[in-house]
Structure 1
Amino acid sequence: MKKSKIIIPHEHGGWAMISVPFVFGMVAGETRWMHALLFLAWLFIYLSSYPLLQSMKKHADRSRLYRWGVGYGSFALACLAAPVIDTPSLIYFSAPLLLLLVVNIWHAKHRSERAIINDMCAIVTFSLGAAAAYRLGGGGWDWLMAELVLFNFLYFMGSVFFVKSVFRERTNKRWIAYARIYHTAAPFIPIVVGFPYVAAAFLFSSVRTFMFAGKQMRPMKVGIIEIVGSVLFAILSVITIQMYV
C-alpha cells in the first residue's frame, strides 16, 4: 500500500503569521504552560485549514485532503480542550474565526485566493491568535487586546503589499505607490493609539518597501527579507509592549 505523503502549507509566510502574533499576545499577559497547548491547537487548526481549503478547488484526491484535514483538526481539538476548560471565554473566538473562514472558503471555491479581501481576512484570523494568547494569560477584553490584533494586522498586511510589489504587481506603478503610502502611514498608527515605542517595530518593513518595491527579486531573497523582518518585528514588539504592561 502506497504511503500517504504528508500535507503541509507551502506558504512560508504562514509560519510567521501563526507564531509571531501568538508570542506577542502571550508576553502581553502572563505566560503560562497552558500556552503550549493553546499554541499546538492554533498550529493544527492552521494545518487543518490548508487541506480543507485545497479540497474546495481540487476534484482529484479529495478523500486524502479530507483525511489530513480531519486528522489535524482532531488533534487541534484535543489540545484545545484543557485551555478552554481553564479559560472558557476562549470559545468566543470561534464565531469570528468561523466567519473569516467562510470568506476564505468562498475565495478558494472561486479560485481567487490572491484577492486582497481574502488576504485581509486571513491576516485578521492569524492576528486573533494574539488576542487568544493574551486572554489565556489573564488579559481582559480591553483596548490592549484590540491593539495587539491591530499591530499584527498592520505588520502582516504590509508584507502582503511588499510581496505583491516585487512579484505580481512589480510593474504596476499604482500598486507600488499604495505599498509605499501604506508603509509610510503604518508606523504612525501605534503613535496615534498611544503606543509610540511600538512604531520602531515597523521601521524595517517600511525601509525594505522603499528600497525594493517595483524591483525584480528572487523568491529566496524575498523569503530571507521576510524572515528577518518577522523576527525583528517579534523581538521589537515584545520589548516595546513590555513598556506598557
Structure 2
Amino acid sequence: MKKYIPNQHGAWAMLVLPFLLGVTASKGQFIHIPLFICWLLIYLFSFPLLQAVKTRRFARVAGPLKVYGILLVPFALYLVIVQPVLLGFVLLLLPLFAVNLYYARTKNERALLNDIAAIVAFCLVIYPVFYVGRGESWQAVNELFVLAVLYFTGTAFYVKTVIRERNNPRFYYGSVGYHLLFAAAGLFLFPSLLVPLLILLLRAALLPRTGITAKRTGIIEIGFSVMLYVSVLVLYF
C-alpha cells in the first residue's frame, strides 16, 4: 500500500483546505463531489509520477499510475464536458507542475521554491471550486487564496525547522520572523483571524524546540489546518 498511498501527511491538508475554502466562499453544489474526487486522483497520480521522475524507475510505480490514471479519466472527461472552463485551470497548473518535475529530476524536491510552486498549485483549486459553486464575492475568494498561500508557505518554513533545518538557528529565526510578519499583515488583511494567526506564530516559535518528529509534525499540521478552516467559518464570514 505504500506505493498507492502518499506518506506526506501534511500534503493532505494542502489538498483539502483550499478546496473547502472554495466551497465556503461559494455554495455547495453536486459538481463539487466529482470535482473533489478528480482533484484527489490528480494528487494520487502525480505523487508516484514525481517519484518515478526522481528515481528513473517508472516500473516500480506502474501499478498506482495505471490505477489512478484509469480512475481519473472518466471524472476528468465528465468535468470538462459539463464545465469546459476547467481546462483553463489545468493550463494554470502545468507550469507549476513543471517546476515540481524539474526539482524531482534534479533530486532537490525539498527546495523552498519547489515547495512554494506546489503550495500555489494546491491553493489555486479554490478558484474552480468557487466558480462551479456559483460564488459571488471575488474579493472574498481572492483573500482566502492569499490566506491559504501565506499559511502553507509559513508551514513550509516551520516544517523545515523541524526536519532538515532543525540545527540551523538562522532558519528558525527566519521562520518565526515570517510568522510574525504574517500575523502583522493579518491585522490589515484578515483582522478577524488575528487569534489563529497568533497561534500559528506560537507554533513556529515553540514546537521546533520540543524535538517533535517529522511524522507527528505532519499529523498535527492537519489539526492546525482544521483550526484555520473553522476560524474562517466562524470569524471571517
Indicate whether the TM-score tops 0.5: yes
Could you tell me whether the CA contact under 8 Å between 1:52 and 1:66 is conserved in 2? no
Greater mean alpha carbon deviation, residues 37-46 or residues 215-224 = 215-224
Per the normalisation by structure 1, the TM-score is 0.87
Encode CA deviations 1:160-191: one digit per residue, 9 max, x unaligned.
Answer: 11111122111211101110111111123344
1:80 maps to which residue? Answer: 76
Distance 1:205 1:37, change over 3 A: same
C-alpha separation in 2, matches of 1:188 and 1:83: 40
Contiguous gaps of at least 5 residues in structure 1:
none
Instruction: Choose from 9, 12, 15 the match for 1:12.
Output: 9
Letter in 2 for 1:199: L
Distance 1:51 1:145, change over 3 A: same
SS of alignment partner, residue 54 of structure 2: coil
Contiguous gaps of at least 5 residues in structure 2:
none
Could you tell me whether the CA contact under 8 Å between 2:22 and 2:127 is conserved in 1? yes
Could you tell me whether the CA contact under 8 Å between 1:131 and 1:148 is conserved in 2? no
After superposing on structure 2, the runs of 4+ consecutive aligned residues of structure 1 that deviate more than 6 Å are none
C-alpha separation in 1, matches of 2:233 and 2:153: 19
Greater per-residue helix proportion: 2
C-alpha separation in 2, matches of 1:188 and 1:137: 32
Name the structure, 1 or 2, with higher relative contact order (CA <8 Å, separation 6+): 2
Letter in 2 for 1:32: Q
Distance 1:95 1:6, change over 3 A: same
2:93 maps to which residue? Answer: 97
1:202 maps to which residue? Answer: 197
Distance 1:77 1:26, change over 3 A: farther
C-alpha separation in 2, matches of 1:85 and 1:6: 31
1:149 corresponds to 2:149: no
Letter in 1 for 2:160: K
Q: Sequence identity, in percent? A: 34
C-alpha separation in 1, matches of 2:235 and 2:81: 31
In the alignment of these two chains, the number of paired residues is 237
Aligned-residue RMSD, C-alpha: 2.2
C-alpha separation in 2, matches of 1:171 and 1:64: 34
